[in-house]
Amino acid sequence: MAIVIDKSQRWRIFAAHAFLIVLCAIVIFPLLMVVSISLRPGNFAAGSLIPKSISLDHWRFALGLPVTGPDGRVTQPDLPVLLWLWNSVKVATLSATVAVLLSTTAAYAFARLKFARKKAALTGLMLMQMFPTVLALVAIHSIFSRIGHAFPAIGVNSHWSLVLAYSGGIALHIWIIKGFYESIPPEIEEAATVDGATPWQAFWRVLLPMALPILMVVFLLAFIGAVNEYPVASILLHSQDRLTMAVGAKQFLYAQHYLWGDFAAAAILSGLPVSVVFILAQRWMISGLTSGANKG
Amino acid sequence: MADLQFKALRKSFGDAEILHGIDLDIRDGEFIVFVGPSGCGKSTLLRCIAGLEEITSGEISIGGQRVNEIPPSKRGIAMVFQSYALYPHMTVAENMAFGLKLAGHSKTEIQAAVLRAAQILQIEPLLDRRPKALSGGQRQRVAIGRAIVRKPGVFLFDEPLSNLDAGLRVQMRVELARLHADLGTTMVYVTHDQVEAMTLADRIVVINQGRIEQVGAPLDLYRRPANRFVAGFIGSPKMNFLTCSLVSARDTDATVRLGDGTLVTAQVDARGLAEGTPLTLGIRPERLLPEATGGEDTARATVLVAEHLGDTVFLHIQGLEGQGQITVKAPPETPFRTDSEVHLRFPAKHCHLFGPDDRALTRLI
């Protein structure tokens, strides 16, 4: 850091910091607000950021523990929040795994193999993914209800139907991974081929280990996408014990009575799996895995 | 151990034909160098041997077996890439063991083979490192090590030294020659550097625009180039070419006239060509004699630039009528400097003549 700096630079740095601090505050405010609401007695969305008194009732409710009302009556929570959370984690893990499996192989084909209409296929994938899912809801529902007649395990109101539906949305992942593959010199796989590897071994033992960071990114994106997804989940899942968190949380909001406090506690809970997966995935998102292959 | 044969090998990418019918026999244990300008198809030919490119027509045999339809992994070859192409996620030892592991060798066998190769290449202390912790020269050694552990029938080298600095390149060149002497395996080496070709090869294959121009031992190519392309490509600085016309042809030599009227005699068989036929006179820079005073059969010219390299002086000469620039390689004590006047003498036994079709006329020495 030996670059000579102009004096006005100090003011610019100060201004930049001030701007960033304000920006951070704006970003963090909603999160703090949700935490505050979940700790506040009663179900009010408005109010000050720092609660006047703290109540853990909403958290007890979210965690499925009995709540004692102000009149001394003990009520059992009627909504299975933890089960929804588990459903979300299950569906998200499965669909992210399927997405990674499908998109790594598809991206390999697009990046390395020669076949007719490659460009058209790639563009087509992208175009189709650009239409909002909502447009296809009717179709998705009728497809899965039809499948359900033959195979109830993957019909409407099953988690597998959701996993299957999410696995269709991998066009973007294919593009991301394809871009990464193309940054890896093909000679490395050619070297493996000459070393005696079959195309599958060259892919599995040489290319994939180098692509690990991007696979983690794609897994994470797919996981977050599945946890947050609402439209498809809301039409494919019906019974209360099958709902995912995103769909189930809607039930806190009765037409006449919005349970903001319980909703806030559940919302924070639903952020947990994403955070855990992110922390786990981060260990593998190391840069520079491909350095050293070439002359450098 | 294996020999190699090409029969009428052609390779096209789409409509563009890159190799136009290659016929060549490579003997078992031979060190063959493919040399040619960039884009001539030499690397493509090597990739065809490896099986990394399908050939369009013709036949390739390795060790007497037709391999056209055999995948790279089953051809009994090993290849060293220009970019090294090491596996970055594996240690040096794992890089070298990869091929053997795929072939299902036992752990002790693999360990022994890797250790032996590491000893040959003096990379034992590096075995536990990853490629990114190695220097360019070390990576190159690992790439070669990865090739030799598999004991292939044929080694393929694709410009392996072009990414190294000058000093290291000379050192690795010597080691490659040493390696070939020790292993005695057939080696096919691609380069655009004619010095590597001259020093390493048992035989050189000069390729230009997808065709073989000449095949032969390095000194044969140097002394008796088959045509103007080979004459210009082999040797550094390159051979001087001067346009001339035939004056007379005898049993022992031929006389030609340069554009400025100078008569030059060459020990070349030009009989059968008509008097006045336009020819090209070729002479190597180290064979041209610069003289201070003009005599009979010398051409007068001016030194454009004199480059002193310490052990030699390159005189770049302009001024022969109707000719391009000429280079003379002179000893360091030469009196000529930039802008000196110089008289050039063409010794008859060092002159080459090329016909109107650029083919060399037979030399009579």
CATH number of the domain residue A216 falls in: 1.10.3720.10
In whole angstroms, give the CA distance from residue B327 to residue B315.
Answer: 6
In whole angstroms, give the CA distance from residue B169 to residue B356.
Answer: 39
Among residues B327, B331, B309, B310, the alpha carbon closest in space to that of B318 is found at: B327
Residues A240 and A195 in one domain: yes
Contact B360, B226 (CB under 8 A): yes
Residues A19 and A164 in one domain: no
Residue A220 domain-assigned (yes or no)? yes
Residues A26 and A97 in one domain: no
Using CA atoms, how far residue B229 sits from B13, B208, B329, in Å, is 25, 8, 21
Quick count: other Cβ atoms within 10 Å of Cβ A221?
Answer: 16
Please list every residue in chain A whose beta carbon sits closer than 8 Å to the beta carbon of residue B78.
194-195
Q: What's the pLDDT at A174?
A: 93
Which of A195, A198, A296 is facing B99, going by the closest CB pair? A195
Contact B78 A194 (CB under 8 A): yes
Contact B139 A292 (CB under 8 A): yes
- N- to C-terminal Cα separation, chain B: 38
Residues A132 and A242 in one domain: yes
Contact A295 B86 (CB under 8 A): no
In whole angstroms, give the CA distance from residue B27 to residue A106.
Answer: 44
Please list every residue in chain B whose beta carbon sits closer than 8 Å to the beta carbon of residue A213.
none
Using CA atoms, how far residue B182 sits from B102, B120, B201, in Å, is 26, 10, 15
Question: Judged by CB atoms within 8 Å, which residues 322-351 of B form the interface with A?
Answer: none
Residue A60 domain-assigned (yes or no)? no
Residues A153 and A31 in one domain: no
Please list every residue in chain B whose beta carbon sits closer than 8 Å to the beta carbon of residue A206.
87
Sequence letter at residue A139: A
Per-residue pLDDT tens for A177-194?
A: 999 999 988 999 999 999
Interface A-B: count of C-beta contacts within 8 A: 92
Residue A124, C-beta contacts closer than 8 angstroms, at least 6 positions apart: none
The mean per-residue pLDDT over the stretch B324-341 comes to: 91
Residue A75 domain-assigned (yes or no)? no
- pLDDT of B285 > 70? The answer is yes
Q: Which residues pair with B306 in a beta bridge?
A: B315
Mutate to test the interface with A, among B13, B62, B73 (most CBs of A within 10 A): B73
Residues A225 and A103 in one domain: yes
Domains of chain B by residue range: 4-233, 240-354
| CATH superfamily of domain region B4-233 | P-loop containing nucleotide triphosphate hydrolases (3.40.50.300)
The lowest-confidence range among A98-112, A232-246, A281-295, B8-22 is A281-295
**B129 Cβ under 8 Å from any chain A Cβ:** no
| Chain A: closest CA distance from residue B24 (Å) | 23
Element (H, E) at B100: helix B92-102
Residue B250, C-beta contacts closer than 8 angstroms, at least 6 positions apart: B271
* Ranges of H-type helices in B107-261: 107-121, 136-148, 166-183, 194-200, 218-223, 228-233
Domain with A18, as residue range(s), is 8-55
- pLDDT of B99 > 80? The answer is yes
User: What ipTM was predicted for this assembly?
Assistant: 0.83
For A45: left if phi > 0, alpha if psi spans -120 to 50, otherwise beta; the answer is: alpha
Task: Report the length, in residues, of chain A.
Answer: 296
Residues A141 and A274 in one domain: yes
Please list every residue in chain A whose beta carbon sits closer than 8 Å to the beta carbon of residue B160.
none
In whole angstroms, give the CA distance from residue B87 to residue A224.
Answer: 32
| Closest A-chain CA to B160 | A295
| Chain A: closest CA distance from residue B160 (Å) | 11
In whole angstroms, give the CA distance from residue B156 to residue B150.
Answer: 13
| Closest A-chain CA to B77 | A194
Residue A292 domain-assigned (yes or no)? no
Which of A193, A206, A295 is facing B163, going by the closest CB pair? A295
**B236 Cβ under 8 Å from any chain A Cβ:** no
Which of A190, A209, A291 is facing B132, going by the closest CB pair? A291
Q: What strand order describes the sheet that includes B65-66? A: B16-26, B4-13, B57-62, B65-66
- Structural domain count, chain A: 2
Helix A260-282 with A8-39: angle, nearest 10 deg: 130
Q: What's the pLDDT at B319?
A: 65
Contact B319, B237 (CB under 8 A): no
What percent of chain A shows pLDDT beyond 90?
Answer: 35
Q: What's the pLDDT at A207?
A: 92
Residues B302-336 as b/e (b if ≥16 CB within 10 A, e otherwise) read ebeebeeeeeebbbbbebbeebeebbbbbeeebeb
Q: What strand order describes the sheet that includes B211-216? A: B77-80, B154-158, B186-191, B31-35, B203-208, B211-216
Residues A29 and A141 in one domain: no
**Pairing of the two strands B57-62 and B65-66:** antiparallel
**A287 Cβ under 8 Å from any chain B Cβ:** no
In whole angstroms, give the CA distance from residue A223 to residue A157.
Answer: 20
Residue with tokens 């080691």: B175
Average pLDDT, chain A: 86
**B132 Cβ under 8 Å from any chain A Cβ:** yes
**Pairing of the two strands B154-158 and B254-258:** unpaired
**B102 Cβ under 8 Å from any chain A Cβ:** yes
The mean per-residue pLDDT over the stretch A17-41 comes to: 92
Residue A76 domain-assigned (yes or no)? no
What is the tally of helices (H) and strands (E) in chain A?
14, 2
Query: pTM surpassing 0.90?
Result: no
pLDDT confidence tier of residue A8, bands split at 50, 70 and 90: confident
Residues A34 and A177 in one domain: no
Residues A254 and A145 in one domain: yes
Which of A194, A205, A206 is facing B77, going by the closest CB pair? A194
Residue A29 domain-assigned (yes or no)? yes
Per-residue pLDDT tens for A206-263?
A: 999 988 889 998 999 999 999 989 999 999 998 888 899 888 888 887 767 778 888 8
The mean per-residue pLDDT over the stretch A57-65 comes to: 83
**A294 Cβ under 8 Å from any chain B Cβ:** yes
Among residues B285, B278, B352, B358, the alpha carbon closest in space to that of B325 is found at: B285
Contact B256, B279 (CB under 8 A): yes
pLDDT confidence tier of residue A296, bands split at 50, 70 and 90: very low
Sign of CA dihedral A70, A74, A79, A85: positive
Secondary structure of residue B66 in the 3-state scheme: strand
What single-letter DSSP state applies at residue A158? Answer: S
- pLDDT of A155 > 80? The answer is yes
Q: What's the pLDDT at A90?
A: 94
Residue A295 domain-assigned (yes or no)? no
Element (H, E) at B16: strand B16-26
Residue A72 domain-assigned (yes or no)? no
Residues A38 and A115 in one domain: no
Per-residue pLDDT tens for B204-241?
A: 999 999 999 999 999 999 999 999 999 999 988 999 99
Element (H, E) at B207: strand B203-208
In whole angstroms, give the CA distance from residue A196 to residue B45.
Answer: 20
Quick count: other Cβ atoms within 10 Å of Cβ B38?
Answer: 8
CATH 2.40.50.140 fits B240-354, yes or no: yes
Secondary structure of residue A95 in the 3-state scheme: helix
| Closest B-chain CA to A186 | B85
Residues A33 and A174 in one domain: no
**Pairing of the two strands B298-308 and B263-266:** unpaired
Element (H, E) at A23: helix A8-39
Quick count: other Cβ atoms within 10 Å of Cβ B16?
Answer: 8
Q: What's the pLDDT at A289?
A: 64
Q: What's the pLDDT at A57?
A: 82
Please list every residue in chain A whose beta carbon sits closer than 8 Å to the beta carbon of residue B139.
292, 295-296
Contact A191 B87 (CB under 8 A): yes
Contact B83 A295 (CB under 8 A): yes
- pLDDT of B73 > 90? The answer is no
- Dihedral of CA atoms B74, B80, B85, B86 in degrees, nearest 10, equals 90
Secondary structure of residue A26 in the 3-state scheme: helix
Task: Extract the tokens encoding B322.
Answer: 């109707």
Q: What's the pLDDT at B260?
A: 84
Q: What's the pLDDT at A154?
A: 87
